[in-house]
Copies of this chain bind each other. A is one copy, B any other.
Amino acid sequence: MSELRYDPLQKRWVIIATERGTRPSDLDPSTKYDHMKVCSFCEGNEARTPPEIWAIRDPGTLPDSPGWKVRVIPNKYPALIVEAEEKRLGVGYYDMIGGKGAHEVIIETPQHNVGLADLPPEQVKLVLLAYRERLRELYKNPRLKYVLIFKNHGIRAGASLAHPHSQLIATPIVPRNVNMKLTASKQHYDEKERCLICDLIRQDMDAKTRVIHSENGFVAIAPYASRFPFEVFIAPIAHNYSFAEVVDEELERFSHFLKNILLRLKNVLKDPPFNYVLNTSPNIEAEPKFSDQWVTIKHDYHWHIEVIPRLVRIAGFEWGSGFYINPSTPEMATRYLREAKVE
């Protein structure tokens, strides 16, 4: 079983996979992944994966058989598992939580070689639907405080399998960076009774210099303090604290928008490796309720997606300081992405 361990100096939780115990010989950084072997995520190979948790299927097809459009399965090497014992321990100055949570894979298409940018919008919509449904389902568990949904595209971005997929990790804590955003948003709201992200979006849309694209209620912005070249921030313009609250019609509109932005990145940067992360509300129904931490969250937080193309190497400076050198300006990235082809 895994453990979550807390560092009181860095105020950070880490998942330690205590049982797999990777040894030095497993850690060769030059390891090449073999994409040519039989793909477990392809249609027809359902028996090679753990039993599916959720799927969109053609009428009459059975679980773990062909006939699906999007398929959600447990990660074969999970960082956290639902069945883990609920255990919180102090270890001197440190803290430990048993590895309770979930680690799932969202297989985005039965096709092996078509990335999200090239899938038809109807298929992108089904992927987004899977995100929303898994969020809703996992947030029914009061022991899970956060669900992190993310995508690694390309080996350099950490993908170990080529078949297009996203992942989710549900945790019994709120991760540090999410907590910092929640705190900043709440401070702003407490002072002004306005959502910080709404304010930032409005300011950026007024200034125009870093707006990549806006359409159908969504906006893509190159952030003022972009950490990475061609970083993109995507959000609904209208206030909404949680991706779990997105309605079907909005999902439809968002599928077109997300595809549009991913196509721009693909065309300008020649199909770059990238990560994206969905930032959404924590599970406000989680128990035990924390004082008044999330009392105003429906008003103060705003879901968004951060897209990070992996174009530059991260060096020691960034790890040690949490602060980044971006060799490129977001204003320049905006100009390129604004004029990009979207077909």
Contacts and interface: CB of A to CB of B under 8 A. Distances in A.
A196 interface: yes
Contact of A320 (B8, B15, B156, B277): B277
Q: Report the interface size class on chain A.
A: 35 or more
Interface in A191-227: 196-197, 199-200, 203, 207, 223-227
B196 A9 contact: yes
A92 interface: yes
Interface stretch (A41-49, A105-113, A180-188, A286-294): A180-188
A177 B320 contact: yes
Contact of A329 (B13, B21, B79, B178): B21
Nearest to A146: B321
Interface in A149-183: 150-152, 155-159, 167, 169, 171, 175-178, 180-181
Given A93-B200, A268-B24, A316-B151, A175 B323 contact: yes
Given A18-B329, A330-B16, A27 B269 contact: yes
A153 B185 CA distance: 38
Given A176-B322, A321-B175, A321-B176, A312 B27 contact: yes
Given A14-B323, A16-B225, A148-B317, 16 more contacts: A7-B225, A8-B188, A8-B196, A9-B185, A10-B177, A11-B184, A15-B324, A15-B326, A24-B269, A27-B229, A27-B312, A94-B225, A148-B321, A157-B316, A171-B323, A178-B322
Contact of A8 (B15, B175, B200): B200
